[in-house]
Amino acid sequence: MSHRARPSGPWTVAGLIREGARRFRAAHLRFGHGTSRAEDEAAYLAFHALGWSPDTPARALSRQVKPPEAKRVLGLFSERIHTRKPAAYLTHEAWLGDFRFYVDQRVIVPRSHIAGMLFDGLRPWATGRIGTALDLCTGSGCLAILLARAFRGATIDAADLSRAALAVARRNVRDYRLGKRIRLIRSDLFSALRGKHYDLIVSNPPYVSGAAMRRLQREYRHEPRLALASGRDGLDAARAILLRAAAHLKPGGLLVMEVGSGRRRLERAFPRLEFTWAETPGGGDVLVVGRDQLPPQARPRPVQQATGGLPAAAARRTGRASTAAAG
Ligand SMILES: C[S@@+](CC[C@H](N)C(=O)[O-])C[C@H]1O[C@@H](n2cnc3c(N)ncnc32)[C@H](O)[C@@H]1O
């Protein structure tokens, strides 16, 4: 459609959404931060600009909007196109199921596959009582908050290396009034958690490989690099967590960790470890390992292509040269 032939008001909400989707496709936007289609992204942004709740009934779509409202919606569409920022950074909110979280560019936009497992109370994996849990690499605090909702009697530590991310997590914890149950801790993986033991550790660490980081689409480049990159093969953080988790789990404790597309590489790196992969509602690979399957002496087998090794502090703690740990 030429510029002159574009529809102009009066607009219905449905018409605005169609127009937004058309513009998004023409601009080759990428989705994956809460929506997966141009129509859904346009509907989400239109509702947000109009101040409508996401569960507004479909019949409202035929409603005509006033010119200033249409201007707001079209303005938000333009901002999405010109900045290429994920919608969540424009609206400052992200949703996991019915749970809303404040977000800005200090944290990755929440989309962890572990969230769906927590909605189900981590069944069938978590069978015993969860009194203490750790969310390692907490970012916005979203998984720590879902942990607190799933396990009502639990106290939770939520750790991250990024001070900026912890500030966002603090805001979300306050919004959910969970300050008494969730403790936010600045920590390089387990370094500030010496002597702490948990019934459950969940982690969605950074796991993007060096090659994938170089190919990142523009939308993803707005997210903190610290939240994505993890060495040459993307598994530096995951390896370090696997090596140290047993020392921080109580007997019978469980580690639940997301690893992106690193499943096969991780299995090859830990040939003696019995891996169990949970089927998640979103189809992502999430590792579930009991403390007993995770002997403290577990050591990764050197992997040729990995040169990044353990993050320096983790390497120091395990007393291993980073090249020996990662190959
Ligand atoms: C993929 S994001 C996950 C955030 C959140 N858990 C979620 O699911 O949306 C990874 C987080 O790990 C943090 N991180 C990266 N390296 C870390 C380290 N060595 N120790 C602790 N946190 C780290 C980043 O700051 C980022 O917030």
Whether the pTM exceeds 0.75: the reply is yes
pLDDT for position 7? 60
pLDDT for position 245? 95
Of 161, 168, 190, best ligand 1 pocket probe by most atoms within 8 Å of the beta carbon: 161
CATH number for the segment(s) 93-326: 3.40.50.150
pLDDT for position 295? 57
pLDDT for position 100? 96
pLDDT for position 282? 74
What are the two backbone dihedrals, phi and then psi, of residue 22, each rounded to the nearest 5 degrees? -65, -45
pLDDT for position 296? 67
Q: Which residues line ligand 1 (CB under 6 A)?
A: 107-108, 110, 112, 137-140, 142-143, 159-162, 165, 187-189, 204-206, 226-227, 237, 311
| Residue 105 near residue 89, CB atoms below 8 Å | yes
pLDDT for position 279? 83
Question: Could you state, in order of their start, the residue ranges of all structural domains in the chain?
Answer: 13-86, 93-326
**Series of mean pLDDT values for 10-residue runs along the chain (327 residues):** 57 97 97 92 97 89 95 98 98 96 98 95 92 98 98 97 98 98 98 97 97 96 98 96 95 95 91 88 87 67 38 27 22
Q: How far is the CA of 170 from the centre of ligand 1 (A)?
A: 15
pLDDT for position 54? 83
Q: How far is the CA of 319 from the centre of ligand 1 (A)?
A: 23
Q: How far is the CA of 304 from the centre of ligand 1 (A)?
A: 26
Instruction: Kindly report the protein residue whose alpha carbon is nearest to atom 14 of ligand 1.
Output: 137
Q: How far is the CA of 19 from the centre of ligand 1 (A)?
A: 36
pLDDT for position 272? 87
Residue for token digits 């550790």? 201
Which of ligand 1's atoms lies nearest the C-alpha of 191?
20
pLDDT for position 127? 87
| Structure token digits, residue 38 | 């141009």
